[in-house]
Every structure is written in structure tokens, then in C-alpha cells.
Amino acid sequence: MTRKVFKMILKFSHNDFYLFYIDSYTYISKLFESQFKHNKNFYFTVMWFLFDVRTPFLMDGEAKKLHYKLNNANITISSKLIKEFYEDYFSQKGKKNTSAVSQNKIGIDCVKKKFLEIQNSTSYMNHFEFFPTLDDISLNNILSRRAKELFLSLIDSDLYLSSFKGSNESEETRLFQTNGHTYVIPPKSRYVNGNVFDLMSHFNDEKFDLVLLDPPWINKHVRRRKKLKGKIDSYSMMSVEEVLKIPLASVLTDDSLVLFWVTNSTSIMEDLLRMLKTWDLELVTTWYWLKVTKAGNPVIGLDTSPNGKLPYEKLLLTQRRNSKRNISSDLKELLFCSTPCSIHSHKPPLKELLFHTLNVDDTWRCLELFARSLNSNWTSFGNEVLKFQDISILEYLYRFEQIKNLFAIFLIYSIYKSTIWNESFALIYSVRTRSIFNKNINTFN
């Protein structure tokens, strides 16, 4: 067993299998840290909260039942025991989505085979030293869920209605201010906030070596959430036919690589594969992003869950049909994992992964469509392109003079969203704020 360390990414290998782990929180927080060089211990608490997924996804009632069962088992709690309890729950309480399983059998078999081989290795288990307490199980990731709601309530929604573009040609991170918000712009990055269907008007004859797309595919679950809670983001859900109306071919070279984030919907997958020829593309292979908790366990069962969902998403790697580019056979059905952000549709940063798999370095001309964040040496295009670059939210909440209000913010917000009073106090307790802020608060002067 070997483990190679790459900046924000780890590679675990065992026998003929390997798995990449992307540290999304570290990658994102490093970008913001560059604006606080005077404060090396600055702790981006709200960002940390967003990735604080401690236990698999359950309904609150089921989480409390599991907590009760463990609490009354009169046995020593261990990482292995908790892992087995969740696996048993998903196999007994969860429903096997026969449609999803049969339609995604190849993907499920691939993910299970590779992940289970790596998960039981010493190196993988040693890396994920965290394991949830009984309180974590009962709270059921409430801190992450509350942080998501707080974040979304503070972002500048008017910005998504604007059309603008900008760039940072320097080697240093810069700040962009508008509408009372401040955004972090990585070095050597460009961005366009606008309609992706207007691609040609922004790039003229410019071509890209790699294009990454994360379209807002039609999704019944998201549609239900929108109906219950109102508009989630500024993107309208799109069919394959609508996505393929984007004039993508106009910005591709003969050897361009194009990557698509897709859902586990068989109809979307089939339609997309059938219509790739519209852009003169062909499928090379399918990669799988497995979502894991901070303890390294899948967020739901690998093939069973209470709502029939699957714990991974697919990333299709395609290329031009007459491309001369050769893709290594080692990259077929690549598996990578990360702890997901609690914000809907937020994907892990792929820059490091693409470098260590496809040798995509800073000489490549890279474009992301439907982007919600920026990357160095990339061009980002979408109508919420600066969504995750907003440093104003972090400054507003966590500058020294407002640290004293942190507990009140989460307490009030929790009470507002919940009728269970003790949840609020348990929430504060679970943050272990004394150990976090005693370590960092004296550096905020």
C-alpha cells in the first residue's frame, strides 16, 4: 500500500486499484487565505462548516433513532462500529432502487469494487482519523445544513442578473468589488458573467484545449425542492437538447477534451451520448465522484438508501472524434472522492486531479461553463460565476469585532428554523468552539 501526497490531493493505491481524494476545503480556503497574509492562523469558519459532513445523510428522525440504538447498546463506540451500524441501516432500512441499480449497474459495480478495496486499507483508514461521536450522529450534520442556509441568505442575488466580465492577469490574487460585496479573483484567471448561449460573442475565434461543463440538468428532486422552498439558484433546469444548443464547437480545437458532469439519470445519459455528435465528440470514459463524510464513509449506501439515491455523480470524459490525443488506459473508469459541500450542485475543484491524470498544466487553455467559482489559469463562464468567490460573507461574519456575535447568529438562526430548542444549544456545543476560537481568536486584531 502506498500513498502519494499532492498539494490538495491524495492518491491511495492498493494492488491494481487506486483512488484520488480531493481536499476541497483546503483548496478553496487557500485561495481566501492569500488575502489574509497578516494572519496566518485565520480560520475560515463558515467555509469549514459548509464541508463539515460528519455522518452519512439521514432524515433527522432516523438519525435520532440510530443515536438511541447506539447509546443503549452498552458497547464501546469505535470508528469500525459506527461504520458497520450505518451499513446495516442502509441495507435494512434503505430501499434498493431497482431502476437506478439496473440502469447504473456498471457504475455501481465499478465504484463498489474499487472503493471497498481501498476503504479497508490501512493507509485510507489512517488518513481519516476522525470518527463521529454519538452527539454527531444525533445532530445529523445540522451545522453544515445551517451554514448552507446562512451562506445562501447572504449572497448577492442581484449579481446574477448582471452581465459583466473581468480578469486578473497578475501573479497575485486580486479583489473585485461591486454592490457592496468583495470577490476574490485568482491570479491569471478570466471570467464572464452572462448567458452561456452567447459564447461566440465573447470569444470570437479563441479556442480552448479543455472545456468543463456542469449543466443544470432536469432533476425531479430539485424541482420538488424549488416548489417547496422557492428558487434555489439562478439557473433554470435544462434538457440535453437545450444544452446542446450551446455553440461549443466554435471554441474547440481538433484535439480538445470536453468533460460533462451528469446525473445518474439514464435518460439524460442516453440522450447525451446519442447527441454528442452535434459537437463532433465521442465518449472516452466515465469517471466517478464518490461523496464521503469526514470519516471517509459514503454519504449514503453504495446501492441502497432511504430515497433510492446513489452516493456518486458521473463525469464524462469526451474528445473530438478525429482527435490524435491518446488517453491512458489507466484512466478508464477513474474513481475519486471528496467530502461534499452542503450547497446544492457544488462540485469539487478538479484542477489538481486533471493535472495528475491528464497532465493539464497552466499551458492549457481551459474553459468552464456554468461556472460558480474561479480557477487560476482558467476562463470561467456562467450567470453566477462569482458565487463562491465572495469574501464579504466571511469578513462580515468573522472579523474580530464580530466574533462575539457568532454564537448569537447560529443560535437565532437555529431557533428560527427549528422548534426544538435544545437543538440550538447542542449545535453550539458540537462546534467545539472553545478549542477552535481559543486557538485563533487572538490573531484577529
- Round to whole Å and give the CA distance between 426 and 139: 8
- Phi-psi sector, 56: left (phi>0), alpha (psi -120 to 50), beta: beta
Using the predicted structure, report yes or no on whether residue 193 has a pLDDT greater than 80.
Answer: yes
- Round to whole Å and give the CA distance between 209 and 256: 5
- Round to whole Å and give the CA distance between 337 and 19: 7
Tell me how far CA of residue 81 lies from CA of 94, 134, 342, in angstroms. 19, 12, 25
Mean pLDDT (whole number) for 119-145? 88
C-alpha cell at 434: 472553545
The structural domain count of the chain equals 2
Task: Give pLDDT, residue 222.
Answer: 54
pLDDT digits 0-9 by tens, 77-91: 666 777 777 777 777
On average, the pLDDT of the chain sits at 79
Using only C-alpha atoms, what is the Rg of the chain?
22
- Round to whole Å and give the CA distance between 52 and 341: 8
Domain end position, chosen among 350, 369, 393: 393
- Round to whole Å and give the CA distance between 411 and 417: 10
Question: What range does the domain containing 385 cover?
Answer: 1-393
Asked whether residue 300 falls in the same domain as residue 412, the answer is no
Asked whether residue 252 falls in the same domain as residue 146, the answer is yes
Task: Give pLDDT, residue 424.
Answer: 44
User: Binning pLDDT at 50, 70 and 90, where does residue 228 land?
Assistant: very low
Asked whether residue 419 falls in the same domain as residue 387, the answer is no
- Helix (H) or strand (E) segment spanning residue 200: helix 199-203
Asked whether residue 210 falls in the same domain as residue 321, the answer is yes
User: Binning pLDDT at 50, 70 and 90, where does residue 104 land?
Assistant: low
Q: Is 224 helix (H, G, I), strand (E, B) or coil?
A: helix
Task: Give pLDDT, residue 293.
Answer: 95
Q: Which of 245-249, 360-364, 408-412 has the lowest mean pLDDT?
A: 408-412
- Taken in order 392, 21, 126, 114, the sign of the CA dihedral is positive
Asked whether residue 441 falls in the same domain as residue 313, the answer is no
Task: Tell me the CATH number at 146.
Answer: 3.40.50.150
Task: Give pLDDT, residue 46.
Answer: 66
Asked whether residue 286 falls in the same domain as residue 225, the answer is yes
User: Binning pLDDT at 50, 70 and 90, where does residue 438 land?
Assistant: very low
Asked whether residue 109 falls in the same domain as residue 144, the answer is yes
Amino acid identity, position 356: H
User: Binning pLDDT at 50, 70 and 90, where does residue 306 land?
Assistant: low
Asked whether residue 13 falls in the same domain as residue 57, the answer is yes
Asked whether residue 267 falls in the same domain as residue 329, the answer is yes
pLDDT digits 0-9 by tens, 31-43: 777 665 544 444 4
Task: Give pLDDT, residue 252.
Answer: 97
Amino acid identity, position 204: N
Are 63 and 137 within 8 A, CB to CB? yes
- Round to whole Å and give the CA distance between 307 and 313: 16
Question: If we measure between CA atoms, which residue out of 364, 389, 340 comes closest to residue 31?
Answer: 389
Beta strands in 67-200, from DSSP E residues, in sequence order? 95-96, 164-168, 174-178, 181-185, 189-193
